[in-house]
Amino acid sequence: MPELPEVEVTRLSLSDRIEGGVVRQAILGKALRWPLGVDPQGLVGLTVGRIQRRGKYLWLPLLPSGGLLLHLGMSGSLSFDEGPLKDWPAAGPHDHFDLQTSRGLLRLHDPRRFGAVIWGESMHTGLVGQLLARLGVEPLSPGWTPTLLRQGLAGRRVAIKQALLAGDVVVGVGNIYASEALFRAGIHPETVADRVGPKRCERLVVAVQEVLSQAVAAGGSTLRDFRNAHGQQGHFQLSSMVYDRAGEPCRVCQTPIRKVVQGQRSTYFCPTCQRR
């Protein structure tokens, strides 16, 4: 599933190329998780603004007002073709939204159709506002501190890995990067969240920020079919310390990496380096 680094990589690979484009046509394929919420013809003539990210969502402003909220779901990706109109490829069976602009073709490819494209008058109203209002603090922002993390974990009796994935304490720390950050912080993923004290919260904030920043620099992770808007794969998974390495030796202590299932998601950890 595309996580925060993959979404940020997508934003970076799109932003300068599509900004300023005028919408010429919007075409819907098969239904996605939510309806578009506007007549596609109503988007024609609007101008694309500076694309933004909030958690795992992208906000594509369409000026003079409103915009599209995009989510890549479980297996989605966005591509952008700057070639001439005559060379644009025909939509395939898993291409479910095309935004044709004066600067190129933006296309959502989503084999499992868990993604979304939703019109909103702003990021704060309607369904768009409801979805974004549920999200916690951005982990790469200066506003996320060990104190704020500690406050968010207070009273939570779930495992720390589950608390990170919930998205209301901190947003966008998905499965891959939660496992990696907990390893770097030396915290067992099954540790009860409200037992993670101030010092471990300090280590965890630093670890999350380092892991996410390094993943963005590596182009994200491509486990199956993620590509950025240039069609390039990510490479962070090649340097993972624990994720998808069950049975292999820990890169620090040589203890075999273990795998458990938490909330139907695979968790990887080192039983020696990570303590409860």
Question: CB neighbours of 264 closer than 8 A, spacing ≥ 6?
Answer: none
Take residue 84 and report the two structure tokens written for it.
């001439």
Q: Which residue has the tokens 């992770």?
A: 221
Write down the catalytic residue from 2, 5, 111, 139.
2
Q: What is the DSSP letter of 76?
A: -
Active-site residue 265, yes or no?
Answer: yes
CB 203 within 8 A of CB 186: yes
Question: CB neighbours of 140 closer than 8 A, spacing ≥ 6?
Answer: 209, 212, 213
Write down the catalytic residue from 24, 54, 203, 265.
265
- CA-CA distance, 121 to 63, in Å (whole number)? 10
Active-site residue 56, yes or no?
Answer: yes
- CA-CA distance, 93 to 78, in Å (whole number)? 15
53 to each of 43, 104, 117, 132, 265, how far by Cα in Å? 21, 21, 14, 11, 25
CB 268 within 8 A of CB 259: yes
Write down the catalytic residue from 3, 6, 8, 180.
3
Write down the catalytic residue from 11, 56, 107, 227.
56
- CA-CA distance, 136 to 168, in Å (whole number)? 4
Give me the active site residues, please.
2-3, 56, 265
